[in-house]
């Protein structure tokens, strides 16, 4: 559970993408949509507790939150396996997460030698490996073909009871929901 109580998130007094936002994220899939620049990434950082609200507050249960950042945030000189080892000490779990994103054969390759879509999958595997009660994903499937999105989505939805995703494609959010049910949150640019 993550509850946003009237939160305002901004970078300075002129750039305040999220104003007085309230919402209860309980369980299931929550789909954040809005045009580029409407504040999706800002909101996700706020919900993850990585950006302090200017006003309002975020209430969390005992959540451990896994995150897939918009810009992956991997150590590009490390291999996929080494990146996962930063959040997980079990070699078996690391192997399992890399196999779920179909990257086992690239486990030892430095991330800087992978394609954009492969690197994206390392970021998803890291979140799977990290685990927790909630996953927050910022345009997670960029660079992945439709069939692969579908296969990876199954692993995410069976692992996390609460999923919050920002994407330009509603289909991505639907894949994460067992029955296609989701709660949509629309951020307009005047939010
Ligand atoms: P979205 O994810 O919907 O494309 P963002 O949350 O990334 O939108 O950005 C919302 C607004 O905040 C944009 O106007 C963007 O330029 C601005 N912004 C984002 N990150 C920063 C930052 N680190 N510093 C200053 N402004 C930022
Ligand atoms: Mg964004």
Ramachandran bin of 72, using left for φ above 0, alpha for ψ from -120 to 50, beta for the remaining angles: left
Residue bearing the CA closest to ligand 1, atom 19: 42
pLDDT at 190: 56
Burial of 120 (0-12, 13-18, 19+ CB in 10 A): buried
The answer to whether 69 and 45 are in contact (CB under 8 A) is: no
Residue bearing the CA closest to ligand 1, atom 1: 37
Average pLDDT in the chain: 96
Ramachandran bin of 88, using left for φ above 0, alpha for ψ from -120 to 50, beta for the remaining angles: beta
pLDDT at 189: 64
CA of 102 to the centre of ligand 2 (A): 25
CA of 35 to the centre of ligand 1 (A): 12
Ramachandran bin of 39, using left for φ above 0, alpha for ψ from -120 to 50, beta for the remaining angles: left
Render pLDDT for 140-183 as a digit per residue (tens, 0 to 9): 999 999 999 999 999 999 999 999 999 999 999 999 998 889 99
CA of 41 to the centre of ligand 2 (A): 4
pTM greater than the 0.95 cutoff: yes
pLDDT < 70 positions in the chain: 189-191
Angle between helices 116-130 and 91-100 (to 10 degrees): 130
Four-CA torsion 82, 65, 92, 173, nearest 10 degrees? -100
- Residue whose C-alpha is closest to residue 79's, from 44, 43, 113, 46: 113
pLDDT at 46: 97
The answer to whether 4 and 23 are in contact (CB under 8 A) is: yes
């Amino acid at each position: 559970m993550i509850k946003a109580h009237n939160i305002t998130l901004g970078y300075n007094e002129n750039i305040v993408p999220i104003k007085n936002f309230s919402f209860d994220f309980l369980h299931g899939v929550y789909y954040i949509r809005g045009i580029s620049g409407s504040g999706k990434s800002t909101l996700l950082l706020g919900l993850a507790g990585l950006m302090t609200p200017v006003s309002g507050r975020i209430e969390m249960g005992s959540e451990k939150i896994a995150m897939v950042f918009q810009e992956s945030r991997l150590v590009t000189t490390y291999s996929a396996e080494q990146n996962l080892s930063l959040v997980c000490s079990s070699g078996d779990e690391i192997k399992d997460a890399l196999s779920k994103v179909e990257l086992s054969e690239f486990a030892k390759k430095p991330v800087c030698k992978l394609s954009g879509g492969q690197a994206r999958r390392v970021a998803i595997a890291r979140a799977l490996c990290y685990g927790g009660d909630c996953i927050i994903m910022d345009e997670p499937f960029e660079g992945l073909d439709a069939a692969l999105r579908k296969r990876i989505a199954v692993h995410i939805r069976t692992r996390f009871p609460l999923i919050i995703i920002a994407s330009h494609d509603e289909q991505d959010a639907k894949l994460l929901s067992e029955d296609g049910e989701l709660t949509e949150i629309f951020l307009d640019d005047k939010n």
